[in-house]
Amino acid sequence: MAGASFVERRDAGQERIQSFAFVIGAIVCVLLSGFFAVSVLRDAEQSQMGELQGRINPNEAPVGSLVRLPGIGPARAEAIAAYRDNFSNGNGGRRAFATSGDLENVKGIGPKTAKKISEWLKFE
């Protein structure tokens, strides 16, 4: 009977070790997944900035180019293009934007957004 008690304790000890190893393995998997997710997001952000190496002129750029600006989605890009076209038509063909601050005239673009994208813009 003493031998059976020893076997039961040994089996219980092995089960605890296996459970502990499983928990450690799961924690390592979660940590590695988080690391890779952050790495992928950082690479995506850097590649987006890499695409914007050339500056964009908001007076001429198509909507597809304006969308590449940080913080400018499709709706804001469309609003920039619409404002630009309306302004030019109503002012004898004059350019709508002379500085990044002029973008604040577009609905949905405030001072923070204008400042954020100013380094990616050119006005010629």
What is the pLDDT, as a whole number, of residue 45?
A: 60
In order, the DSSP letters of 40-78 are HHHHHHHHHHHHT-S-B-TTT--HHHHTTSTT--HHHHH
- Domain 63-120 falls in which CATH fold? DNA polymerase; domain 1 (1.10.150)
Digit-by-digit pLDDT tens for the chain (124 residues) are: 556 676 677 777 788 888 888 999 999 989 888 888 787 777 666 555 545 468 999 999 999 999 999 989 999 999 999 999 998 888 888 899 999 999 999 999 999 999 999 999 998 7
- Which residues is 121 bridged to in the sheet? 56
Which tokens in the block code for residue 1?
A: 């009977």
pTM above 0.75, yes or no: no
Determine how many CB atoms are found less than 10 A away from the CB of residue 56.
18
Cβ-based burial of 99 (10 A; exposed 0-12, middle 13-18, buried ≥19): exposed
104 neighbors 111 (Cβ within 8 angstroms): yes
Helix (H) and strand (E) counts for the chain? 4, 0
| β-pair partners for 56 | 121
Predicted confidence at residue 88, as pLDDT, reads 87
For the chain, the domains span 1-51, 63-120
Please give the C-alpha separations between residue 18 and each of 22, 24, 86, 90, in angstroms, as whole numbers: 6, 10, 70, 76
